Structure 1
Amino acid sequence: MTTTQITTAVPFKEVTDHNGRVYRIGETDRDIMGRPRWTMVLFPWLGMMGISSSEYAFTSAEDTLHEAHLWNSGHIFWLMGVWIFFQAAVAFPAGQLRESGKLPARYAMMLGALGTLLGYLSLAYAPHVIVAYIGFGMFSGIGAGLVYATCVNMVGKWYPERKGGKTGLVNGGFAYGSVPFVFLFTSYMDLTNYKTVLVSVGVICCLVVASAGWFFKDPPKFWWPKGADPLKTSEDPRVRRAMEKNPPAVKQYTPREAARVPVLWMMWFCLLCTAGINIFGIAFQVPFGKDMGFAGGIVATAMSLKAIVNGTGRGVIGWISDKYGRRNTLIIVCLVLGSAQFGVLISGTMGSMPFFLFCSMVSGFGGGAIFPLFAAMTADYFGENNNASNYGMVYSSKLISGLVGSGMGAVVVAAWDYEGAFIIAGSIGLASAVLATFLKAPGRSDTAPLDKTPPIGREIA
């Protein structure tokens, strides 16, 4: 072992396994930022809650926006599609800027907060629908994309040994943070107060995102938490089980290297399909419920339950994937998501309110669970150092799924009614489960054990 002496405040050691992957061990979370790392779950969670209303509650404001601005329903769904397009489009370039050091996490969050505010201001005061497309669709979408990419990848860096549950918890804020706004837009907002409501929501969300972002800090490259040696069997059963089911990536893949691996594009396509189903449900559950004769309060309750279960499911599924493996969990989630679409259709045509609420919750669970699974899986397969960029490539599939699930979903509903649209969505979900069976970590077989060879390393003190 070669030892190199340099001046540093806290001693650490870099060890290298037989694959050439480097781990930096010895420093604690308090050594790096002066506080425990669980705070880097709390603040990203709050940041995600601050942007959640723009996607999950937006369609609940459809009727009021239609009457206030005389926009037709098609514009409402395409506005959501454009927002999702820009939210996904910024993921990869934001990751590149973040990892190059040109865009610190704190600044990314501040820009995201500003975009969120501009989005709601444009919905309140837009003199023409084009202004809403620019203000809400583009600026708010870009801002949300910056916040999403920063929050999800931040928590994975601080919990490389047990990223599933923590990533899922943070990701869940993107859904259930919208619950009060669903009721606000559905039951309270009308033509007499819509400007006040929209501006107030924009200011509140802006302050939440900015306040949370102020405390963001990245760990050093290659950092691994003290007491969780990646080259030895951990005494903590939770860490040991998580690393056995989801071994660390064999190397830190750069975006260029990851793009050459076929499994990344298989993940991209699988996320495209499942995210499209999720967005379709968000966009059309409310109008479908109303068309089936359910009262507005029931529909709002169904949408709120969907958002709650969507968010809660993200945290629960992350914890489950730590125990049973990311790919196995994803297969089950795809089956649940696809089956739930048939359930929503059947319950609506039957006029069964309890069954409709149940299927809505199941659909929300499946639709939410896919995102933390893919975020954690990307880090498992390609490493943490470039995860913002690598997951940005996978997440870019939402560019298409947003437009397909919302905008094209409206076209399909108009052509084949809700029956045809839900049957197509359910079938795609079941097909995604088949595709998920082929996802394997590059450079590692399903049965490959964790590296137990003595590490090669250098101590730095």
Structure 2
Amino acid sequence: MKSTDLSIPVPFREVTDRNGRVYRIGETDVDLMGRTRMWMVVLPWVGMMGISSAEYAFTSAEDTLHEAHLWSSGNIFWLLGVWVFFQAAVAFPAGQLRESGRLPARTAMLVGAAGTLLGYLSPAYAPNVAVACLGFGMCSGIGAGLVYATCVNMVSKWYPERRGGKTGFVSGGFAYGSVPFVFLFTSVLDLSNYRVVLTTAGVGLCLVVATAGWFFRDPPKNWWPPHVDPLKADRDPRTRRALEKNPPAIRQYTPKEAARTPVLWMMWFCLLCTAGINVFGIAFQVPFGRDMGFAGGIVATAMSLQAIVNGTGRGVVGWVSDRYGRRNTLIIVCAVLGGAQFGVLVSGQAGSMPFFLFCSMVSGFGGGAVFPLFAAMTADYFGENHNATNYGLVYSSKLVSGLVGSGLGAVVVGEWDYHGAFVLAGSIGLASAVLALFLKAPGRPDARRIVPNPHPLGEEMA
């Protein structure tokens, strides 16, 4: 049995396949960090829950913020759009800093925790929209982006052989954490308590994110779990099927190399469309439901169910993609997301509360499921070593989708009413399913072969 003393170097060896990709095997997760790698699933999940309410519950506080600060609905929607912009904008530079070693995972999480606190203090005490935009939109958005990028890429590095389900589970925390806040902001928050409630929530969530992030640790470059042969059929049927349906990238692509492949930019555009629909649903299903005559409690329930299914869908779809392939699953998810927008519109106009709740849940399912699929697909296509930066490139499409889904969505609703806006959103979702048909890993060979490294024993990564 190997020692768990982290100060003692553990021998490892490297094997290279015919394409030159290196796999570092021999060290267990316990050897590297003194605990099992399942902690790098649970802790990122907790960290993701700590940042989720800023996106998924913010519009539920619209009425109170409007009365307290006299902000218009348009101001509030644009605040959300700015938050989404900065949350996505930080992904690429954060990835570069993380992979260069200048931004350790723990530091990224602590900075994210501070941003979470500022995000709640700003709408509570901001004297005007500009200050709220600085505190909530920029600081909280940057903090959430650091936490999101760190958590998603952390689990992907520790589970390179079966990342879909684990990535989906962690990503699901980004929706689950908002559920109590949807009800809190809809039913409890008012002019008499909004500052106390928002401040208390901010301090609590800051502590949650900081505590989870304190224990983060990255594996060495090229690390592969020693109990799984990276290139041969594994005895575990789950792992074998996952690797057959989603083979590892043929090599470790740098960001410049990944950016020269057309598939990366096709993924970027596909995520732009689907993420825009997701933000549109988050921003406008509550006011749409109210305008259609549904009671506030029903609308809050719809948003909570949407958040729950959003989170559950991420985990379920990640698991399904391990079994049936990432691209095949993405095609179905895009089609479901697009169809749900038509369902929300029809159910609202018909005044059918059960159908409205169902379609809202389906919309949440599709809107959340795309993110872990693209996160896992990026590592499948371009490798794990530069995944933080490569996924940052793909995820940067949310820079545009946040503004389109929230801010521009408000303009479309104003010009075309809800009917035209939901029809447009649904059509974009169906078109995204067609685009997903053409996503294919670059340079995937037909056969693979292990070539042992001539120097099988190496030194432990510092």
Question: Whole-Å Cα distance in 2 between the matches of residues 370 and 386 of structure 1?
Answer: 21
> Hey, what does 2:17 align to over in structure 1?
17
How far is 1:375 from its partner? 0.1
> Hey, what does 1:146 align to over in structure 2?
146
Amino acid at match of 1:331: I
Alignment of 1:173-184 (within 5 A): 173-184=173-184
> Hey, what does 1:113 align to over in structure 2?
113
Is 2:421 aligned against 1:460?
no
Deviation string 1:318-364 (CA, Å, 9 cap, x unpaired) is: 00000000000000000000000000000000000000000000000
Alignment of 1:157-172 (within 5 A): 157-172=157-172
> Hey, what does 2:405 align to over in structure 1?
405
How far is 1:96 from its partner? 0.2
Question: Secondary structure of the equivalent of 1:459?
Answer: coil
Question: Secondary structure of the equivalent of 1:16?
Answer: strand
Question: Whole-Å Cα distance in 1 between the matches of residues 271 and 308 of structure 2?
Answer: 21
Question: Whole-Å Cα distance in 2 between the matches of residues 82 and 240 of structure 1?
Answer: 43
Question: Secondary structure of the equivalent of 1:132?
Answer: helix
Alignment of 1:58-457 (within 5 A): 58-444=58-444, 448-449=446-447, 451-457=448-454
Deviation string 1:352-411 (CA, Å, 9 cap, x unpaired) is: 000000000000000000000000000000000000000000000000000000000000
Question: Whole-Å Cα distance in 2 between the matches of residues 168 and 252 of structure 1?
Answer: 22
Question: Secondary structure of the equivalent of 2:372?
Answer: helix
Question: Secondary structure of the equivalent of 1:14?
Answer: strand
Asked if the contact 2:96/2:388 (under 8 Å) is kept, the reply is yes
> Hey, what does 2:3 align to over in structure 1?
none
Question: Whole-Å Cα distance in 1 between the matches of residues 426 and 253 of structure 2?
Answer: 34
Amino acid at match of 1:458: H
Question: Whole-Å Cα distance in 2 between the matches of residues 160 and 46 of structure 1?
Answer: 21
Asked if the contact 1:231/1:455 (under 8 Å) is kept, the reply is no
Deviation string 1:13-48 (CA, Å, 9 cap, x unpaired) is: 011000000000000000000000000000000000
Question: Whole-Å Cα distance in 2 between the matches of residues 309 and 406 of structure 1?
Answer: 21
Question: Whole-Å Cα distance in 2 between the matches of residues 258 and 454 of structure 1?
Answer: 25
Asked if the contact 2:57/2:178 (under 8 Å) is kept, the reply is yes
Amino acid at match of 2:56: Y
> Hey, what does 1:35 align to over in structure 2?
35
Asked if the contact 1:149/1:392 (under 8 Å) is kept, the reply is yes
Deviation string 1:124-150 (CA, Å, 9 cap, x unpaired) is: 000111100000000000000000000
Asked if the contact 1:276/1:401 (under 8 Å) is kept, the reply is yes
- Normalising by structure 2, we get a TM-score of 0.97
Identical aligned residues as a percent: 79
Question: Whole-Å Cα distance in 1 between the matches of residues 293 and 198 of structure 2?
Answer: 28
Question: Secondary structure of the equivalent of 1:374?
Answer: helix
Judging changes above 3 Å, is the alpha-carbon distance between structure 1 residues 16 and 8 closer, same or farther for their aligned structure 2 residues? farther
Amino acid at match of 1:378: T
Asked if the contact 2:50/2:209 (under 8 Å) is kept, the reply is yes
Asked if the contact 1:340/1:363 (under 8 Å) is kept, the reply is yes
Amino acid at match of 2:421: A
How far is 1:8 from its partner? 6.6
Amino acid at match of 2:244: E
Question: Whole-Å Cα distance in 2 between the matches of residues 107 and 215 of structure 1?
Answer: 11
Question: Secondary structure of the equivalent of 2:456?
Answer: strand
> Hey, what does 1:4 align to over in structure 2?
none
> Hey, what does 2:4 align to over in structure 1?
none
Question: Whole-Å Cα distance in 2 between the matches of residues 270 and 320 of structure 1?
Answer: 20
How far is 1:454 from its partner? 4.5
Asked if the contact 1:91/1:389 (under 8 Å) is kept, the reply is yes
Question: Whole-Å Cα distance in 2 between the matches of residues 230 and 126 of structure 1?
Answer: 53
Question: Whole-Å Cα distance in 2 between the matches of residues 453 and 17 of structure 1?
Answer: 4
Unaligned 5+ segments in structure 2 are 1-6
Judging changes above 3 Å, is the alpha-carbon distance between structure 1 residues 457 and 78 closer, same or farther for their aligned structure 2 residues? farther
Question: Whole-Å Cα distance in 2 between the matches of residues 119 and 165 of structure 1?
Answer: 30
Question: Whole-Å Cα distance in 2 between the matches of residues 30 and 408 of structure 1?
Answer: 49
How far is 1:452 from its partner? 3.7
How far is 1:113 from its partner? 0.3
Question: Whole-Å Cα distance in 2 between the matches of residues 455 and 201 of structure 1?
Answer: 53
Amino acid at match of 2:46: L
Amino acid at match of 1:373: L
Question: Whole-Å Cα distance in 2 between the matches of residues 144 and 135 of structure 1?
Answer: 12
Question: Whole-Å Cα distance in 2 between the matches of residues 394 and 459 of structure 1?
Answer: 35
Question: Whole-Å Cα distance in 2 between the matches of residues 458 and 49 of structure 1?
Answer: 44
RMSD of the TM alignment (CA)? 1.0
Amino acid at match of 2:457: I
Question: Whole-Å Cα distance in 2 between the matches of residues 125 and 457 of structure 1?
Answer: 63
Asked if the contact 1:17/1:456 (under 8 Å) is kept, the reply is no
Asked if the contact 1:47/1:147 (under 8 Å) is kept, the reply is yes
How far is 1:9 from its partner? 1.3
